Amino acid sequence: MASYAWVLGIRPGYEEEYKKRHDEIWPEMTEALQQSGIRNYHIFKHGLTLFGYFETDDFDATAAFLADNPVNARWAEYMAPIMQVDIDPATSFPYLLPKQFSHD
């Protein structure tokens, strides 16, 4: 199982709204994440910067599933007004961060 990470931003003034929306995440969105193969998914916040970490056995399959998933599309549309997003056009997913170090 491989691990992946991304960085995105919250638009200034929307920090509480971002937290609220994730506290109330739609059950169908968490189901879509699970169906995509994502496991051990965490999002951390520092100021307006979000750092996401997740694991999946097949990133390409995960990205393709989410790119074609209508629930994920609705979630992205719902979140768009409060987010600063930089999407990789090759994957339709936030740009992934290259791993620099690991310690188990």
Task: Report helix, strand or coil for 44.
Answer: strand
Of the candidates 104, 103, 84, the residue with the CA atom closest to the CA atom of residue 95: 84
Pick the catalytic residue from 22, 42, 46, 103: 22
Residue 36 DSSP SS3 = helix
Distance between CA atoms of residues 75 and 99, nearest Å? 27
Is residue 22 annotated as part of the catalytic site, yes or no? Answer: yes
Residues labelled as active-site residues = 22
